[in-house]
Amino acid sequence: MRRVRWLSAAAVVLVLGYVAADVADVAPGLLTLDPATTGPAPTRPAPSDPAREPLPPAMPALATDAPAPTPEGVSRVLDPLLSVDQLGPQTSATVIDAATGDVLLDQFGTSLRVPASTAKLLTGAATLSTVGGATTLATRAVQGGSADEVVLVGGGDVMLGTGASKLDQVHGHAGLRTLAAQVAKALSAAGRSQVAVRFDDSAFAGPTVSPGWSATDLQIGFVGHITALGLDDDLAAVNHPGPADPSLAAGQAFAQALRRQGITVVGNVVRTRASADAKVLGEVRSAPVADVLGVALTTSNNTIAEVLARLTAKAMQRPATFEDSALAVMDQVQRLGVDVGGSHLTDGSGLAAGSAVTSQVLTDLLVLASGGSTPALRPLLAGLPVSGFTGTLAERFDRPLTQDAAGTVRAKTGTLTGVNSLAGTTVDADGRLLVFAVMSDRVPVGGTTLARRASDRVAAALTACGCR
């Protein structure tokens, strides 16, 4: 009986893992009609692994005098592709000429749709324009209430390495071994070799888990607990769930790093609140926020996106909670000059239920980022996955009807059960930069893979045509 129960539990875990992989663009949907790909599954790096080095995408040069597409030409090419059953009924789509701002296609462009991970575009824009892309996040060690107490204070870096700082990388850019060496030197200068270690993650407030997430989201690793302090190795990934308390795990890793520096650590590592004027014993800083955002966009990392949303709320003098972070993001997008209308978010990543955004909002934001009036937003485009090369588009645009667009389409993907979205830029056959968004939130059951391919065909067709 015990063996049967164990096998049943294992089967449940495997099924849940496959469902998560479906939504995370790792595997075909459970009920997809497409035949499964044969052969061994490709090895996918965890978020803490170094990024793969792709071949440079062949990005066409923009023609300054490129002929402009016409709405009639775009509609003639895209209308049949947007009406396919794989995308479900009433797919929203908007296409804009980036140079002129002219709307070339508006199919239910002002209708609210579930954005899924394209919500990260809004979070990214808000973060870049408030926190700043060049900003780095400090993780400090300060003296506690007594001389024999050291407090690790988190500033929002959840990509801390356990070793030496890796200044040429985003993951592990700030390392606890480097921080511990600084602290050990300061303690030695003060004649101390024994301390108690505490940690302070009070930079963020409220629950660490959104009420709009399911328990499975955490169990499978779709997202982790959102705290102001965390290890890169603990970032949640599919089939690699994060710890229940990332801040505690970081504090314990810091204590171990101190021990390796010859410092005796006594007692348990516990949460506390450091004094605002506490003496700083050491500090390490993250990679620039623009680079951190690039990881969130390219790999569609929900945890990092939620952290960036909280940093945005703090920059706007709001509480760093789920509710206030989502409100802060939308407020800032509105301040940038984008008419958000009835669009709203319930979290910063697009994972929680209840968010609704229009394709027009996404394209208006991308047009703003592609122009010269708001240079702070340029990293938003640089962080987008590249078709056939990087991130969530690395293994897409590889079929006969889409492969010619590989390396040209740069777009944020969005996938949830019944939801498929794609928003980004491309360069058409005449060298014209176009911005587009395709949003479907009534995808047929089990049709995740087919819907993705259908939206890829829309982007590829837009790339191939002069559409005049």
How far is 301 from 130, CA to CA, in rounded Å? 20
For the chain, how many residues are written?
468
DSSP H or E run through 295: helix 289-299
DSSP H or E run through 227: none
Q: 120 catalytic, yes or no?
A: yes
Q: 129 catalytic, yes or no?
A: no
The label of the residue with tokens 């760093």 reads 320
How far is 468 from 452, CA to CA, in rounded Å? 26
Question: How many whole angstroms from its chain centre is CA 289?
Answer: 12
Q: Which amino acid is at 279?
A: K
Catalytic residue among 120, 247, 314, 349: 120
Catalytic residue among 92, 117, 247, 455: 117
- The token duo for 47 is 């978020």
Question: How many whole angstroms from its chain centre is CA 367?
Answer: 20
Question: How many whole angstroms from its chain centre is CA 307?
Answer: 10
Q: Which residues of 64-92 are buried (b: 16+ CB within 10 A; e: fewer)?
A: eebebbeeebbbebbeebbebebbbeebb
Please measure the distance between the N-terminal and C-terminal CA atoms of the chain and give it in whole angstroms: 69
Q: 387 catalytic, yes or no?
A: no
Catalytic residue among 210, 300, 440, 455: 300
Q: Which has the closest alpha carbon to 458: 441, 436, 442, 443?
A: 436
Helix (H, G, I), strand (E, B) or coil at 47: coil
The label of the residue with tokens 């060298």 reads 431
The label of the residue with tokens 């099924």 reads 15
Positive or negative torsion for Cα 436, 441, 443, 446: positive
Residues that are catalytic: 117, 120, 300
